[in-house]
Copies of this chain bind each other. A is one copy, B any other.
Amino acid sequence: MKAYRNLSKEELLSLKARLEKEFEEAKGKGLKLDMSRGKPSVAQLDMGMDIFDVLNSGSGMTSLEGVDVRNYGVLDGLTEAKHMMADIMGVSAENVIVYGNASLNIMYDAVSSAMTHGVMGCTPWCKLDKVKFLCPAPGYDRHFSITQHFGIEMITVPMTPQGPDMDMVEKLVAEDASIKGIWCVPKYSNPQGYTYSDRTVRRFANLKPAAKDFRIFWDNAYSVHHLYDEEERQDKILEILSECEKAGNPDMVYEFASTSKISFSGAGVAAIASSKKNLDCIRKTLTIQTIGYDKINQLRHVRYFKDFDGIKAHMRKHAALMRPKFEAVLKVLERELSGTGIGEWTRPNGGYFISFEAMEGCAKAIVGKCKEAGVTLTGAGATYPYGEDPRDSNIRIAPTYPAPEELALATDIFVLCVKLAAVEKLLEQVWGIAA
């Protein structure tokens, strides 16, 4: 396909006319499609329904260690649930605390508690003049919302296929003691689906932060969320806790995970993994904060999945549903946009998203046009701190929820809008013709 940059004014104008006609037709269809949220599909959820037969009125309700899971007691999670979550993160069970249903809530609590009580004996962040976080971007909007909520200054760090720009990360954390954390989705990153390289993980583990209370917020949300069954198409990542320990930085990481996209979104089990020292601090606060989390749901999950092989088998079934969806989107992008120079996109081996880079200054226009034609996308800018994409080019595509036929339709409209926005931008930029 010819690069749009090389089209003449006349070619652009006639292309514009054609695309506008197609756009009007698309609008006329009155579609209502949604590629905005990383939600499991109904078929994925249906796949896990047997979990509700695992506990019934005749079930033993005692944990392996003899705890009646229906009563008070056990602050930091059933031992068997710790093992389950440890396996998911590739860590040891003694490094795990199991929480309620949402890992986001654990991250929020970690920041909130650092604000009011400080990290491991350091000054509470609310007593400091300035607290900053590094935010690899494009990244996960809900991470950025937490730090913004607490008035923490966010510094954007560019993402690469190997992970965040580590030269910048190393330099900044070494120089600036007000930098207290960094948000990471290290495996199948949101939104790119990138997995941090071994070198990146080792550089993280070997950071020399000026702040003693600097923590890496390692949101391992997609650790077992492969799209392909073949080993060689499954991304691997170095285990960060042990790397940090080797590097003499044992307390530098809070790792998070949940079964929200394994069992059920919002009704799963979430966990933190960290050093014993960090966990001891967290437990002190937990004692005040809660009487403990839902142990019945923890037991239900353990009895259903049985072991890590059970989880992997379950995730292969998810993959079988999700793979064709990702491939459907990628096929349309490839067919319609390759060679045009008006968009680039990622081809992930796992996770929940595809990241799309439009021509600079086009993302908002594309998302707006899609909406007009009945296709909802994540808001442009959402993948950057403060919701502001400096190049206005990144769009997160979430292909997991819609049915395959809807997805094909939605992607057709998406590429149409990408083209239209590009043509308008070029006419304006190169030829001074306003849309």
Given A108-B290, A150-B116, A297-B294, CB of A264 within 8 Å of CB of B70: yes
Q: Which of B70, B102, B289 contacts A292 (CB 8 A)?
A: B102
Given A39-B71, A70-B265, A71-B265, CB of A104 within 8 Å of CB of B290: yes
Q: Which residue of chain B has its CB nearest to the CB of A263?
A: B70
Let me know if A333 is at the binding interface, CB within 8 A: no
Query: Contact mask A271-293 → B, CB, 8 Å, 1/0?
Result: 00000000000000101111111
A266-B288 in contact (CB<8A) = no
A72 CA to B61 CA in the complex, in Å? 28
Q: Which of B55, B112, B149, B264 contacts A71 (CB 8 A)?
A: B264
Let me know if A126 is at the binding interface, CB within 8 A: yes
A291 CA to B39 CA in the complex, in Å? 12
Let me know if A145 is at the binding interface, CB within 8 A: yes
Which one of A5-13, A42-50, A236-244, A386-394 contacts B?
Answer: A42-50
User: Which B residues touch A72, using CB under 8 A?
Assistant: 37, 39, 265-266
A410 to chain B, nearest CB (A): 19
A265-B294 in contact (CB<8A) = no
Given A102-B290, A105-B290, CB of A57 within 8 Å of CB of B68: no
Size of A's binding interface in residues, CB under 8 A: 57
Q: Which residue of chain B has its CB nearest to the CB of A37?
A: B72
Q: Which of B70, B104, B126 contacts A126 (CB 8 A)?
A: B126
A265 CA to B287 CA in the complex, in Å? 16
Q: Which of B116, B266, B296 contacts A291 (CB 8 A)?
A: B266
Let me know if A431 is at the binding interface, CB within 8 A: no
A312 to chain B, nearest CB (A): 21
A117 CA to B52 CA in the complex, in Å? 40
Q: Which of B116, B267, B291 contacts A112 (CB 8 A)?
A: B116
The residues of A with any CB-CB pair to B shorter than 8 Å are 37, 39-40, 42, 45, 48-53, 55-59, 61, 68-73, 100-102, 104-105, 108, 112, 115-117, 124, 126, 142, 145-146, 149-150, 260, 264-267, 285, 287-297
Q: List, sorted by A's number, 19 A–B pairs whose CB atoms are closer than 8 Å.
A: A37-B72, A40-B71, A45-B61, A45-B70, A45-B71, A49-B57, A52-B55, A72-B265, A104-B289, A104-B290, A105-B290, A108-B290, A115-B126, A146-B288, A266-B291, A266-B293, A266-B295, A294-B294, A294-B297
